[in-house]
Amino acid sequence: MVLPMNEQSERRAVAYVRVSSKRQAEEGISIEAQIAAVKQYAILRNLDLVDEDIFIDEGVSASTHLFSRQQGQKMHRAIYGQGVKHIISAKMDRLFRDVQDMLSTIDEMDRIGVSMHVIEYNGTMIDTSSPTGRFFITVIGGMSELERGLISERTKTAMTHMKANCKVFCHDIFGWDKVGKDLVPNWNEQDAIDFMKWAYHKQDKSSTWIAKHLNEKGITGKRGGTWKASMVLRTMRYEFHTQRELFEKPLNWGSSEWHDFSI
C-alpha cells in the first residue's frame, strides 16, 4: 500500500549519532550500538528512516552546538529542505551540551513542527511531540546539567587536594617525577625551570632565546622533543612548582645564581 505524500512526510525521520573518541570506551555506547538503537526505534514507532538519513559525528565533543557540528549541519539542512518531522537519538548527551542548548534546539524544532526523540534515559523513551514529553525532557535535562556540575565540583576538589599533597593528578610534568602515586621534584629539571625564570626576568632574555638555549644544551622536554617559546612560558609560570618547597633540596642546590630565583 502506498501512503499519501502528506502521510509519508509526517513519518520522515533523521537520526543523529555521536561519539567522542576519547570517551568511547568509558561510555560503552559505540557508533554501531547507537545506529542499531535508532533503527529499531524507527521501526517500533513506524517512522521512515533510511541509512542516508543517519548522521554520524565521530570524535566530536558535545561542547559544540548540535547544528554547528559537521554532520549536525548536514542534518540541519536536511530537516529544513526535505520535510523531516522527527529527529532520533540514542541518548540525550549525544545531542546537547547543556540545558540552554537543549531548550533552544527544541524550541527551534518545535516552531517548524519537528519532534525530537531520545530513546534511552534510564530505560525510558522520551519524545517532544507531546506536552508531557517536552516537560520530562526539560526536567531530565536540568537534572543532567546539575549532575555534570556536581561532578565538575568534585573533580576540582579532588584535583586541589592531590596538588596540595603532591599526588599524581595528570600526565608528565616537567620538573617532577612520578614515584608510585606521588610526585617528587626532579632537581635537574627544577634547575632548568629556575634558569628560565632568571634568564627571562633578570637577564631580559626572550622566551625564544631561552628555548633555543635549552635546545642547544640538549635539555629536552619531559617526553623528549625540543623547546618552543610557548612551552618555556607555560613551564616557568606553572604554579604547582612552588610545591617543591615541601621537599628537602639537594646539597649542591644554590650553586647557581638562578637557583630559587623569584620575581
pTM more than 0.85: no
pLDDT of residue 224: 86
* pLDDT over threshold 90, residue 131: no
Pairing of strands 13-19, 86-89: parallel
Pairing of strands 176-179, 13-19: unpaired
Instruction: Decide which of 191 and 150 is more confident.
Output: 191
pLDDT of residue 22: 53
CATH class in words for 5-144: alpha beta
As a whole number of angstroms, the distance between CA 17 and CA 51 comes to 12
Whole-Å CA distances, 100 to 60, 104, 107, 151, 210: 19, 6, 11, 19, 46
Contact between residue 11 and residue 5 where contact means Cβ atoms under 8 Å apart: no
pLDDT of residue 138: 72
- 148-180, pLDDT tens digit by residue? 677 778 888 888 888 889 998 888 999 999 999
Burial of 190 (0-12, 13-18, 19+ CB in 10 A): buried
DSSP letter for 241, please: G
| Helices and strands, counts by H and E, the chain | 9, 7
| Residue whose C-alpha is closest to residue 200's, from 174, 177, 231 | 231
Query: In this prediction, what percent of the chain has a pLDDT beyond 70?
Result: 88
In 3-state terms, what secondary structure has residue 89?
strand
pLDDT of residue 121: 56
Interior CA angle at 52 toward 16 and 15, to 5°?
Answer: 20
Sign of CA dihedral 166, 170, 176, 177: positive
As a whole number of angstroms, the distance between CA 190 and CA 211 comes to 15
- Among the residue ranges 140-154, 160-174, 234-248, the one predicted with the least confidence is 140-154
| Residue whose C-alpha is closest to residue 89's, from 138, 19, 178 | 19
CATH class in words for 153-263: alpha beta
CA Rg value for the chain: 27
Hey, where are the domains in the chain? 5-144, 153-263
Task: Provide the mean pLDDT of the chain.
Answer: 86
* pLDDT over threshold 90, residue 191: yes
C-alpha cell at 212: 633555543
- 20-43, pLDDT tens digit by residue? 765 554 445 688 889 999 999 999
- Among the residue ranges 47-61, 138-152, 166-180, the one predicted with the least confidence is 138-152
**Contacts of residue 56, Cβ cutoff 8 Å, sequence gap at least 6:** 17, 18, 31, 35, 71
C-alpha cell at 169: 593528578
C-alpha cell at 99: 540545558
pLDDT of residue 253: 94
